[in-house]
Structure 1
Amino acid sequence: MKSLQRSTKLYILDTNVLLHDPNCLIEFKEQDIVIPMTVLEELDSIKDRKKNVAQEARIAIRAIDRILSQAASPEEISGGVQITLPTPDPDTVLGKLSIFPDHELSMRKGFLPDHNNNDNHIINSALHLQSLYPDRQVTLVTKDINMRLKALGAGLKRVEDYRTDQLISDLDLLTPGYHKIDGNFWDQVSEVKTEQERGHTFHHLARDILPDTYLNEYIFDDEGFAARVEEVGEESITLLDINQQFLLDQQCWGIKPLDLPQSFAMDALTDPNIDLCIINGAAGSGKTLLALAACLEQVIEHKRYNKIIVTRSTPPVAEDIGFLPGTEEEKMTPWLSAIQDNLEAMHEGDEQPHSSIKYTIEKANIQFKSLNFIRGRSIQEALVLIDEAQNLTPSQLKTILTRCGKGTKMICLGNLAQIDSNYLTPLTSGLTYIVERFKDYEGCSTIHLQSVVRSALAEFAESNL
């Protein structure tokens, strides 16, 4: 690997980095990248699994093959092959990619023992390269916290998390989707231009009154005023006036909001001008109930959409339940039991609740689909409800959102405190990513539900466990 002896940095990538961002190889700019053989073996074992990271493993393998296929000999692959962009760009200079055979390093003195531990193999690769190139900055990049601790304990000088797609440094900085003004909002306004248009009231104000606001953020005060930001200019903003009581009096499929954040969510869910509605909040905050009620109202009562497609990621919380017989929808039923629970809650007062639920599912054309169904499709005139979105990577959510066709609305639900994926944290979750990326998009609204309305027990558990 002598050809890698350059002044640039040298990064060793763990498997979870490639799964988290299959296109990460071009994110290290002019720096060189080493992939241990163990990482390739792990990608190979993952690519055929029936898990939501299998697709990412295949994409990563193809990206590696595209680069290494330029090499003419095994020596070139070991020494480093120039990384190129998928489309030529003469102004971009990238580093080299090489494969390192790491299996025999555990037999050497000073390296971690094998014990059939793949993490040890990867750490040993980094330790070996650190000793081979003492004058070069050698860094192991992994999203595994424990692996970072092991690597530092084993003597590796530099270990980093992969943060290229991390848009915020603290979860407290994530926008809630609304902003409270203490006292009376109008006491802070010296000049305003109000006009009526399309049956709505719009207020044009100076930008410095709400300097950090963004499109579709809800503004409210202690005196009953509520509005949604419609336009944001360099010197002015436009607010759509919405009375708080009007918001709280909304009703969809018999469900009424219990507080202002829920009313903001229902308003966004039923607004046909909003193409992407993101609702995150604690367990029991009413995310799924509000979303499902709004979907039923729009499909059955207003006929704005033709169907409701419900999907979610399916990582097991404990042990996988194994093979499930039946059709695709029958296989997805255990994972989407939350939808069934909420349908039962909405029809519990009916004389024949089971018949009512069956009728509702047929009338609204509710379809339970796996994420594999979403890939490669163009979905038209539908409401797509993505549950448990916190378990999806930015790449996976991009794949889903780009399936949105004409007249389709996407609804993402998630709880960043309940991430089941081994490859994600609240800061790197795809849910966090799209909240920040779509914050200034006129067709997106984000709402964070804070109160737990499921039960007193659920609220105490969420706050104290």
Structure 2
Amino acid sequence: MTLEGSKKKNYVIDTNVLIENPNSVLALRNGNENNIFIPYHVLMELETLKNTPKLRHIVSQVITSLIENRDHITFIRNGNSDSPFTHIVDNYILREIETAQDIQDPILVTNDRLLQLQASLRNIKSEELRDSKPFESESQLYTGFVEEPRNAPPNSFLWRDGKPVMLSPEGERPIGYVNDVWNLKPRTVYQNLALELITSGHVDLVSIQSEAGFGKTYLALAAALYLVLERKEYDKIFVVKPTIEIGAKLGYLPGDIAEKMEPYMKYIFDLLVKLHRQRPANKVFLNPNDEALRLNVKKFEILPLGYVRGMNIENAFVIIDEAQNLSRSEVRALLTRMGEGVKCVCLGDTSQVDNPYLNEANNGLNWIVRKFKGFSNYGHIVLKGDRSRGPITDMVLKSKL
């Protein structure tokens, strides 16, 4: 296929773009306005990634998209495309673009900034997928506070006479009191407002952003126990942590899913036990009098992301931990599992992204804030203050170590 003289743009798509958004081929085609090229080494990299438990389902979506758009994709390769040296796959992708004589003015679409630099050194144009960077760390820029009530997002806050006021859909609500949830007293005004969002009946989805040590998970667990065991508004608590590596090895571990997950979620369990000791939460344990406490999965369940994908969750309090390590498609897949009577709290820190295919701006927590800000049943807040987990953590945060 010769494209010389065509006014269409010629996009060459990198692996990380396909993983971040399996529908990127369709988006970049823009009907039939543009041409799509995929280097053969991208297919080789997908072949490797499909065996990665965390990415297997995403790769499957990518492959489906490639098959559905096969007639609109040109795959490019050269004589070295079968090289087994996948650790330098980026070099082979660039070489395949260079040797593709029938592409006029190719544009490499990649979210990999190092690959963008390598491409520029070879005089190959590159750009990010436009839909991959919603805002520069949106979940940090929008703190949950506004300057004035006019056109403010629902469930945001403003300061008035030194006190916070919640701008709920029903009207302004001064927060001059301290929430006491499961004998947990908030240490800062921001923790208090986070509890206000979580315990407000009209708010179905809450996202909380903060650096380590500001008590996101502890607050969410305390609120979960309060709403499930004391107020009985929900029947069960689910905790999902997306970053856990769930693979075949899990099947060899003894016990049920809660026991299999225990090594990966120990800190969640430790926080739960701490809350139990300050106020008994007997129903979440099989036998609260045992020295070795075990979870009662009828009331409290810790699940890997893959288990949630096929579920329909109803009448439950759901905590999604480390949401910054979810991709946009994973956020969509996870939140569409939430049925009637669900309160969902998403926790994260966009400065601690472990997923190699995501970054501080392009991650699940940012997408939640970007897409849901303005809905009447959604709220977001950034936790901050002078006191965090303890004096050593305080020093780390203040010194910006």
> Which deviations, in whole Å up to 9, do the C-alpha atoms of 1:365-399 show, x marking residues without a partner?
11011111111321110111110110001110011
Distance in 1 of aligned mates of 2:181 and 2:294: 14
Superposed displacement of residue 402, structure 1: 0.7
How many residue pairs get aligned? The number is 388
Task: Give the letter for the 1:147 counterpart.
Answer: L
Task: Give the letter for the 2:124 counterpart.
Answer: K
Task: Give the letter for the 1:243 counterpart.
Answer: I
Q: Does 1:366 align with 2:300?
A: yes
Of 342, 353, 365, 1:419 maps to 353
SS at match of 2:58: helix
Distance in 2 of aligned mates of 1:364 and 1:376: 18
Of 56, 59, 75, 2:58 maps to 56
Superposed displacement of residue 462, structure 1: 3.1
Deviating more after overlay: 209-218 vs 320-329: 320-329
Superposed displacement of residue 137, structure 1: 2.9
Unpaired runs of 5+ residues, structure 1, are 69-80, 82-95, 108-112, 182-208, 232-237
Partner of 1:240: 172
SS at match of 1:263: helix
Distance change (3 Å), C-alpha of 1:297 and 1:364:
farther
Superposed displacement of residue 435, structure 1: 0.5
Distance change (3 Å), C-alpha of 1:223 and 1:115:
closer
SS at match of 2:130: coil
Of 74, 88, 99, 1:98 maps to 74
Aligned-CA RMSD value:
2.9
Superposed displacement of residue 104, structure 1: 2.2
Q: Does 1:145 align with 2:99?
A: no
The answer on whether the counterparts of 2:258 and 2:297 sit within 8 Å (CA) in structure 1 is no
Q: Does 1:37 align with 2:40?
A: yes
Distance change (3 Å), C-alpha of 1:67 and 1:337:
same
Distance in 1 of aligned mates of 2:161 and 2:26: 50
Q: TM-score, normalised by structure 2?
A: 0.88
Superposed displacement of residue 165, structure 1: 3.6
Superposed displacement of residue 211, structure 1: 3.4
SS at match of 1:178: coil
Partner of 1:27: 27
Distance in 2 of aligned mates of 1:284 and 1:321: 32
Distance change (3 Å), C-alpha of 1:123 and 1:299:
same
Superposed displacement of residue 6, structure 1: 2.4
Superposed displacement of residue 298, structure 1: 0.6
Distance in 2 of aligned mates of 1:138 and 1:443: 44
Distance in 2 of aligned mates of 1:306 and 1:150: 53
> Which deviations, in whole Å up to 9, do the C-alpha atoms of 1:315-334 show, x marking residues without a partner?
56xxx996561332223222
Matches within 5 A, 1:269-280: 269-280=198-209
Superposed displacement of residue 400, structure 1: 0.6
> Which deviations, in whole Å up to 9, do the C-alpha atoms of 1:19-67 show, x marking residues without a partner?
100111111112111111111122122223222x211100010111122
The answer on whether the counterparts of 1:315 and 1:421 sit within 8 Å (CA) in structure 2 is no
Partner of 1:87: none
Higher-RCO chain (CA-CA 8 Å, sequence separation at least 6): 2
Q: Does 1:395 align with 2:329?
A: yes
Distance in 2 of aligned mates of 1:159 and 1:357: 59
SS at match of 2:69: helix
Distance change (3 Å), C-alpha of 1:360 and 1:393:
same
Distance in 2 of aligned mates of 1:361 and 1:406: 25
The answer on whether the counterparts of 2:208 and 2:346 sit within 8 Å (CA) in structure 1 is yes
Q: Does 1:46 align with 2:49?
A: yes
Distance in 1 of aligned mates of 2:212 and 2:102: 50
Deviating more after overlay: 339-348 vs 379-388: 339-348
Q: Does 1:230 align with 2:162?
A: no
The answer on whether the counterparts of 1:165 and 1:433 sit within 8 Å (CA) in structure 2 is no
Identity percentage of aligned residues: 28
Of 311, 314, 327, 1:380 maps to 314
Q: Which runs of 4+ in 1 moved over 4 A?
A: 113-116, 170-173, 320-324, 348-354, 356-361
Q: Does 1:178 align with 2:145?
A: yes
Superposed displacement of residue 164, structure 1: 1.0
Distance change (3 Å), C-alpha of 1:173 and 1:392:
closer
Partner of 1:203: none
The answer on whether the counterparts of 1:174 and 1:432 sit within 8 Å (CA) in structure 2 is no
Q: TM-score, normalised by structure 1?
A: 0.76
Q: Does 1:340 align with 2:278?
A: no
SS at match of 1:64: helix
Deviating more after overlay: 388-397 vs 214-223: 214-223
